[in-house]
């Protein structure tokens, strides 16, 4: 039995954590889930690290950085911390960020949910089916929007 | 009995630490407070880490970055350090920054105090009522200005 | 017998890991290879560190940062993490990044493969023939595109 | 008996270390001083950390970043390292930087000396009189130029 | 007997490591030298840290960042890593970077060599004659180009 941690924010404008959990349940079994919510994306790194230190095999850190320059900097700081948390624990944290200005209001919730779902499958595969990722190396995969695909077939 | 650390600066232009402490007292009980003040925001990371290592369960780090490009860089450095301090201690530091140019002079003190108060409630909930945060996941909450709210109801 | 780790991404648009492995096999012997694939470049630092902690003598971390400002920031975060992973393990990680906007579509796969191949030779030399690198100090070598060469002969 | 470390640079264009030491002697007693000088600001973080590990209770790190974009980046790197050194030692380093373009040539030496002196008093207070800092929380204090003062009285 | 580590790159366009070694030999005795060469500047931090962990008392890390924005970012990442390597070892790494666009082609090799030589003397002084650096505190010294000098005499 593996454990998957889910941590998201009250700042985001749709419930990304719920989308990730729903998708995990549709996609596979053999794990239990621990969920936390923090105020903003800069609170994600330590929340994810605590989950990993408590025994999670992988964590999904979901957030929606705002559109202002200050928000962009926050996203950078959060991402840097998320990488540091992984290096300190030797486990993966799948960062799922949707920038508020990546899509217009009407499409934003869709994108946030879709990206959360596609990365939930990545998180699952990373701990249960790593060979699926190797098979897709260099295939130009994207999460949320359509895959770009490879430049040319090898 | 929990302990909440409060650290703010002499650089800020209103007493954010006092506002946070006042709000904590209105909001709940079951904790004691330790307060420190440092010159500027770049002194916050180690001050917060010392408080956490001395036994605080959570720390609020409050500051007012100035409006010049150099000040923005200081804020970035301070935030990066605050995240590193959290990863080193496995505890949360709630960063409460109000950029001097986020509001005009007449509204700045209000914003600093209001954000300090709303984050004081977050800090309290994180150690006493974490389920309140999960309930608000993805609700577009903000501190200081009005909540933005979710993109759509789920 | 040495061990060389190879980690690449599903985001990249050509199979950089396969190119690196093929080149290593042409270039020399005395090692075995362990391969991993992760979703994106920000997942590379911990993947590389895990490989080093599992016993790899060197790791190649291959990726293709996208062309948008957000992608550039991701590349910066990944690179910072890759350096931190090296400092934590006292082993080298050869970062092989080709920015999507470094070449037009028609030349991009060639560049990604070529750079992967030339850095594969660097990785091999670093663990088997470090004196080859000293001999080339200050020679203006490049990977992918043509060498620039020294400013003047000494 | 406490120990205060002073580290400055040969790059700076006035002797900031001497100014800090002179001010400390005027301001209070009960400490001894250890002084080091390094070439540039990027050498300050480890110099300060060595002093702290040798037993200093606090260190002042004084420097004058140049005015070019590369110099600004150096200042950022130095500041990031100074924060990391503090987190590694749980002690404060008071960073005293005067950017070469903060004042015209005629006023630059004054500013460097004045800021060094005012931060020397901060450093002293932080280890001997921390309650003085709490009393000044949110008072809009500045070092070098005049204090800005609070937005409004509480 | 002290040990000085020298690490440079195959990317640079003149042999900076050789210049540093030549200058050290002219300047003083009492040390032995260990030399390494890596592909690019981002490989310098761990190479320098390995040398320090192997017993070097100080390391010179020499490189020539390219002129493109991506290269500038690489320089920033390398510098950040070099500072982290120092903090992890409590020893100095003298970073000697010459940006490719700091001088026109005709003067670039001169600048790279000259800066390497002047910093070689700094490295020597830091481990053998630290009092020479204190004597030059605030004297506006530069490496490569002419010294700027102090703003005013104290």
The answer to the question of residue C130 being in a domain is yes
Residues from chain C that touch E36, judged by Cβ atoms under 8 A, are 130, 133-134
Calculate the average pLDDT of chain A: 96
The answer to the question of residue A126 being in a domain is yes
Distances C112 to C16, C94, C118 between C-alpha atoms, Å: 6, 14, 10
CB contact under 8 A, B37 and D76: no
**CB-defined contacts A:C, below 8 A:** 110
The answer to the question of residue E140 being in a domain is no
Place of tokens 């470090």: C130
Please give the Cα distance from D139 to D153 (Å, whole number). Answer: 9
Domain span at residue E98 reads 2-135
pLDDT band of B105, cuts 50, 70, 90: confident
CB contact under 8 A, B9 and D138: yes
* 154 residues of chain E, pLDDT tens digit each: 999 999 999 999 999 999 999 999 999 999 999 999 999 999 999 999 999 999 999 999 999 999 999 999 999 999 999 999 999 999 999 999 999 999 998 899 999 999 999 999 999 999 999 999 999 999 999 999 999 999 964 4
- Name the strand (E) or helix (H) holding A113: helix A105-128
User: By the 8 A CB rule, do C38 and C90 touch?
Assistant: no
What residue in B sits closest to A85 (Cα-Cα)? B87
List of residues 6+ apart from D89 with CB closer than 8 A:
D49, D52, D53
Q: Residues of chain D with pLDDT > 70: what percent?
A: 98
Distances B69 to B10, B11, B72, E103 between C-alpha atoms, Å: 20, 16, 5, 28
Place of tokens 């700081």: A77
CA proximity to B15, closest of D19, A116, D119, D137: D137
- Name the strand (E) or helix (H) holding B69: helix B69-89
User: Which of D76, D88, D109 has the CB atom closest to E151's CB atom?
Assistant: D109
φ/ψ of E7, rounded to 5, equals: -135, 130
The CATH number given to whatever domain includes residue A16 is 3.40.50.960
User: By the 8 A CB rule, do D122 and D131 touch?
Assistant: no
Per-residue pLDDT tens for D107-137?
999 999 999 999 999 999 999 999 999 999 9
The answer to the question of residue E64 being in a domain is yes
Please give the Cα distance from A69 to E148 (Å, whole number). Answer: 36
Torsion of CA A113, A118, A120, A125, to 10 degrees: 180
pLDDT band of C116, cuts 50, 70, 90: very high
ipTM of the complex model: 0.96
Residues from chain C that touch A143, judged by Cβ atoms under 8 A, are 39
Mutation for testing the A interface, residue in B137, B139, B142 having most A CBs under 10 Å: B137
The answer to the question of residue B146 being in a domain is no
The answer to the question of residue A93 being in a domain is yes
List of residues 6+ apart from B2 with CB closer than 8 A:
B30, B31, B32, B57, B58, B127, B128
The answer to the question of residue D20 being in a domain is yes
The answer to the question of residue D150 being in a domain is no
Structure tokens belonging to residue C55:
């016993």
Residues from chain B that touch D150, judged by Cβ atoms under 8 A, are 13-15, 109
pTM, rounded to two decimals:
0.97
**Domain count for chain D:** 1
Please give the Cα distance from A103 to E94 (Å, whole number). Answer: 46
CB contact under 8 A, C136 and E11: no
pLDDT band of C153, cuts 50, 70, 90: very low
């Amino acid at each position: 039995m593996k454990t998957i941690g889910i941590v998201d924010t009250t700042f985001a404008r749709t419930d990304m954590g719920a989308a990730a959990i729903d998708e995990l349940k549709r996609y596979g079994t053999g794990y239990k889930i621990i969920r936390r919510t923090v105020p903003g994306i800069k609170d994600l790194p330590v929340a994810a690290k605590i989950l990993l230190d408590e025994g999670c095999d992988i964590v999904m850190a979901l957030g929606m950085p705002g559109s202002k320059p200050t928000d962009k900097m926050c996203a950078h700081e959060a991402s840097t911390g998320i990488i540091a948390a992984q290096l300190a624990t030797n486990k993966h944290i799948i960062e799922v960020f949707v920038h508020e200005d990546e899509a217009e209001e009407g499409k934003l919730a869709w994108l946030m949910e879709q990206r959360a779902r596609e990365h939930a499958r990545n998180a699952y595969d990373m701990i249960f089916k790593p060979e699926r990722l190797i098979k897709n190396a260099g295939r130009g995969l994207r999460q949320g929007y359509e895959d770009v695909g490879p430049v040319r077939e090898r």
